[in-house]
Structure 1
Amino acid sequence: MLTALTDKSTIEEKEFFVKWDRAYHMCMQALKGSVFEHLSSGLQKTEIAKELYKAVGERYQKSSKFKVGNLMSELKSMKYDSVGGVRDFIMKMVHIQTKSASHDITLPNKFIVHHALNSLPIEFTQIKTTYNDVNEVWSVNDLISKCVFEKEKLKKEKSESALLTTNSKPYYQKNFKKPKNAPKQDNKGHGNG
């Protein structure tokens, strides 16, 4: 414990106090500079590090509870919209799970898998049915690989369907035979001759 200087303090004690005082002020400046502004605004001004730590700690507890509430709301409202990748969607859920764990809120992987499955659109019904039918618990990585595979399969089916649609002729064009000596038609459907 540092004692106050007196008239009877030795030169060594005075030099030590000057060095300690300088180091303490530098430490306080570093501490104040490292605390987020929204946590430190409105705090009572103090030059005692222990009091500043305590005040910031109390403020952080309130901020932490608010942040956890926001994380839970974000997780609860997540729905996959088929715009981005399904892997990224599930990884965002895992990211929220990790952030929540840093606030002492544990979300088991089983919960993340169930929530992710419930957040997927109707196109992923086959995966949901498979999950409900099997007697094994999927890990998050299992879910990601199965969903990515299903997404790729859906893309392939969609492109094949589009290809079939664009390459097929309507029924009336398939059964219509042109006479051999009929004039050629221009783009507007009028004869050239």
Structure 2
Amino acid sequence: MSYSAALNPSSISHHAIVPLTGTNFKKWKEDVDIVLGIMDMDLALREDEPARPADGASATQRSKYEKWKKANRVALMIIKRSMTDAVRGGVPDLKDAKAYLAAVEERFQRSEKAETGVLMCELTTMRYDGAGSVREYILKLIDISSKLKELEVSLSDAFLVHTTLNSLPAEFTTLKSSYNAQREKWNLNELIAICVQEEDRIRREKVDLTVNMITKINPPKSYPNESAKKELVKNVHFPKKTNDFKANKTSNFKCFFCKRPGHMKKACHKYKRWLEKQEVKGLSKKENSK
């Protein structure tokens, strides 16, 4: 449901409810309650049908009855319209919205023992993989604990704290050791705050390590393709070449004339003297030919 729709009850409709299928009854019922509540049409779900006003009844009595009838009619339309044809066909066609919703709920009853087993398995096997945030992960564990409490399976905060710490990855080993070494116990709020702080520290250390590694990387001599080159240059800042580097690089060159390293042929003094001698010889030949 959108925020603008919540502010404008007249814009609420069955489209704000995810259609009821065979697997989403709890979410569907929550959506129905929210939509009808915002529309102020949940009266028929909260109260039984009032007695039909007799002749000569007061205006207040007639108004109350008409209000209930309207709420009942709208609630039935929205409930039925937000169900798939297969699900709607399997529910008795009742004229009372409250009774109709109860009939739908009966079709989706689950065994409490089976649901308890599923929730306990989920609670004890969940592991934090770094997706999202550790705060969101711990709140999800607490939500599972709340559902178990509704099924009369109460879990202490201390149990949840230990379960949560044991499900965190190896990066949180220091935090786990710190908790086991102290006498004080954390409550759930303290657990969330400390885990969030530890996660921030771990992420900062990873960023610093990545930056240090990047600064030590030299540019590759070749790239698989042009797009790979652009992507690497975009994300990695290679160290600038200094004059010392150029000097060291030229020291690897070897003169083709004198065969000595450290300079090129065009900078070779012996080569320049040889050129001068060749020019002198060329001039003397021209004079003799005349």
Instruction: Note whether the superposition's TM-score is higher than 0.5.
Output: yes
CA distance in 1, matches of 2:249, 2:156: 74
Q: Is 1:100–2:148 an aligned residue pair?
A: yes
Unaligned segments of structure 1, at least 5 residues: 1-28, 47-51, 171-176, 184-192
Would the alpha carbon gap of residues 126 and 179 (structure 1) be closer, same or farther in structure 2, given more than 3 Å must change? closer
Would the alpha carbon gap of residues 168 and 63 (structure 1) be closer, same or farther in structure 2, given more than 3 Å must change? same
1:150 to 182, 185, 198: 198
Q: Is 1:118–2:166 an aligned residue pair?
A: yes
Partner residue, 1:76: 124
Would the alpha carbon gap of residues 158 and 57 (structure 1) be closer, same or farther in structure 2, given more than 3 Å must change? closer
Partner residue, 2:30: none
Higher relative contact order (CA 8 A, sep 6+): 1
CA distance in 1, matches of 2:138, 2:248: 63
**Pairs within 5 Å for 1:27-46:** none
- The CA deviation at 1:168 is 3.0
- The CA deviation at 1:66 is 2.3
CA distance in 1, matches of 2:217, 2:109: 68
2:188 to 122, 140, 144: 140
- The CA deviation at 1:141 is 1.1
Unaligned segments of structure 2, at least 5 residues: 1-72, 95-99, 219-243, 251-263, 265-290
Off by >4 Å, runs of 4+ in structure 1? 40-46, 54-62
CA distance in 1, matches of 2:177, 2:166: 11
Aligned residues: 173
- Opposite residue 140 of structure 1, the aligned amino acid is L
Would the alpha carbon gap of residues 182 and 88 (structure 1) be closer, same or farther in structure 2, given more than 3 Å must change? closer
CA distance in 2, matches of 1:63, 1:179: 78
CA distance in 2, matches of 1:149, 1:83: 16
2:247 to 160, 172, 180: 180
CA distance in 2, matches of 1:158, 1:108: 35
2:178 to 122, 130, 147: 130
Would the alpha carbon gap of residues 145 and 180 (structure 1) be closer, same or farther in structure 2, given more than 3 Å must change? same
CA distance in 2, matches of 1:181, 1:44: 90
- Scaled by the length of structure 2, the TM-score of the pair is 0.43
Q: Deviations over 1:16-74 (max 9, x none)?
A: xxxxxxxxxxxxx9xx99x9x9xx9989999xxxxx9x999988775333222221121
Secondary structure of residue in 2 paired with 1:105: coil
Secondary structure of residue in 2 paired with 1:115: helix
CA distance in 2, matches of 1:66, 1:55: 22
- Opposite residue 69 of structure 1, the aligned amino acid is G
Would the alpha carbon gap of residues 60 and 107 (structure 1) be closer, same or farther in structure 2, given more than 3 Å must change? farther
CA distance in 2, matches of 1:88, 1:101: 20
Measured on the aligned residues, the alpha-carbon RMSD in Å equals: 4.5
CA distance in 1, matches of 2:170, 2:206: 15
- Opposite residue 159 of structure 2, the aligned amino acid is F
